[in-house]
């Protein structure tokens, strides 16, 4: 089912949707990632994507949003195929006690705000991770998805293979 069809169904059900576009960071896996970290930013399609990512990380003045991706699979049966269709850059998390390969790509995540008033606000912990890309290291802060944004429902790859 296409993202346009899913969005039309949500609109017909009077769902409140918020669109968040940006750079997505997730652990390298062949399955649906448990979590994804979205750096909200308007993508520049006129620039080489890797250059855009490097420029964004060098000038990062916002935190990445921790997005729980597993829940989206219940309303988006083709979520894994959509994630696997993305063109991505390989990088690595290089925290002192934790090293793991990651992928960096671009996407839109649509959240459903229909029942956002019922969601609990969890306090943000002072968390961050270090990303190694092209022999440069960048610190990326993390924050929880705020209740006013609702629940992640749909995922759209913006740069495909």
Q: What is the pTM of this model?
A: 0.89
Pick the most confident of 4-8, 9-13, 153-157: 153-157
What pLDDT, on a 0 to 100 scale, did the predictor assign at position 120?
A: 64
Mean pLDDT of the chain: 89
Q: Quickly count: other Cβ atoms within 10 Å of residue 95's Cβ.
A: 11
- pLDDT, tens digit, 9 for 90 and up, residues 84-128: 999 999 999 999 888 999 999 999 999 888 877 676 666 767 789
Q: In this structure, what token pair is assigned to residue 4?
A: 């346009």
* Segment 129-147 mean pLDDT: 93
What pLDDT, on a 0 to 100 scale, did the predictor assign at position 73?
A: 86
What pLDDT, on a 0 to 100 scale, did the predictor assign at position 100?
A: 94
149 has a pLDDT exceeding 80:
yes
- pLDDT, tens digit, 9 for 90 and up, residues 27-45: 999 999 988 999 999 998 8
What pLDDT, on a 0 to 100 scale, did the predictor assign at position 155?
A: 93
Residue 75 CA neighbour count, 13 Å, CB half: 17
What pLDDT, on a 0 to 100 scale, did the predictor assign at position 1?
A: 66
What pLDDT, on a 0 to 100 scale, did the predictor assign at position 26?
A: 96
Residue 80 CA neighbour count, 13 Å, CB half: 7
- Rg of the chain over all Cα atoms, to the nearest angstrom: 16
3-state secondary structure of 43: coil
9 has a pLDDT exceeding 90:
no
What pLDDT, on a 0 to 100 scale, did the predictor assign at position 50?
A: 94
What pLDDT, on a 0 to 100 scale, did the predictor assign at position 121?
A: 66
What pLDDT, on a 0 to 100 scale, did the predictor assign at position 80?
A: 93
């Amino acid at each position: 089912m296409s993202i346009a069809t899913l969005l039309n169904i949500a609109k017909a059900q009077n769902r409140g949707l918020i669109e968040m576009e940006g750079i997505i960071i997730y652990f390298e896996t062949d399955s649906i990632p448990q979590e994804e970290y979205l750096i909200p930013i308007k993508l520049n399609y006129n620039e080489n994507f890797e250059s855009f990512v490097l420029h964004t990380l060098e000038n990062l003045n916002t935190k990445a949003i921790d997005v729980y991706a597993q829940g989206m699979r219940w309303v988006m049966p083709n979520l894994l195929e959509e994630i696997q269709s993305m063109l991505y850059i390989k990088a690595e998390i290089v925290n002192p006690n934790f090293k793991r390969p990651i992928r960096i790509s671009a996407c839109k995540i649509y959240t459903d705000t229909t029942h956002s008033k019922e969601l609990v606000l969890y306090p943000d912990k002072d968390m961050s991770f270090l990303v190694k890309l092209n022999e440069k290291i960048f610190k990326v802060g993390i924050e929880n998805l705020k209740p006013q944004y609702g629940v992640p429902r749909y995922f759209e790859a913006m740069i495909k293979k």
